[in-house]
Amino acid sequence: PGVARTSVTLTINPAAEAPISTGDITECEEDPIQTLNANDAIVATSGQTVVWYDALTGGNVVANPILNSVSSVTYYAEGVTNNDNCPSLYRAPVKLTIDSAAEAPISSGDITECEEDPIQTLDANDAVTVPSGQSVVWYNAPIGGSVVNNPTLNTVGSVTYYAEAMSSSGACPSATRTSVVLTITGSPAAPISTGDIAECEENPIQTLNANDAITATSGHSVVW
């Protein structure tokens, strides 16, 4: 008699290729704060989808691998084939980091002085303070602009400089800049004397007034 046979097919489907990471994402805090997305650092193989987890193995699925606060988090990308749902043998980590911005410098106020002889030098650094560990970088504009190595004024006139703080790590600037206006006001011309006043004594005795011998520049007053 014939013997019936039953066929059994064994198939091992290939694992998905692990996603390729282009690198971790690190940015300085913005205002308003930005959102980092780990998907921006992953290249998936055609015909595969990416599933994110909160652990290198096992763990929980993460629907939105993002970061929008000052901190750091690592997500793990696993590739999955679309046809047979086979996962990759390992996961690609992506670390998202938002570093805190430096605090904007605090200004004690603009600096205004009258011209001296010889003329003095005003320094905008004398008008700002920053927390310990932070440094100050000066610019000639509130946004963009060029770095000013010496934010000073030593001529009659006015100039505005803008202080940007740099974090202690030297990586993150303050979100805003603090302005400081330096002003040296020109000294008025010295009063002009028409000469000393000398008179003989009268009876009753008269009163001499030095103002009668002085001519001041228009718009200026005289202080004796």
- For residue 189, pLDDT over 90 is answered with no
Note the pLDDT of residue 111. Answer: 98
Band of pLDDT at residue 216, cut at 50, 70 and 90 = confident
3-state percent breakdown (helix, strand, coil) of the chain, nearest 5: 5, 35, 60
Give the distance, in angstroms, between the CA of residue 21 and the centroid of all CA atoms in the same chain.
Answer: 29
| pLDDT tens profile 101-144 | 999 999 999 999 999 999 999 999 999 999 988 999 999 999 99
Band of pLDDT at residue 1, cut at 50, 70 and 90 = low
Tell me the pTM. Answer: 0.69
Residues 72, 78, 79, 83, CA torsion sign: negative
- For residue 188, pLDDT over 90 is answered with no
**CA neighbor of 114 nearest in space, from 6, 2, 7, 220:** 220
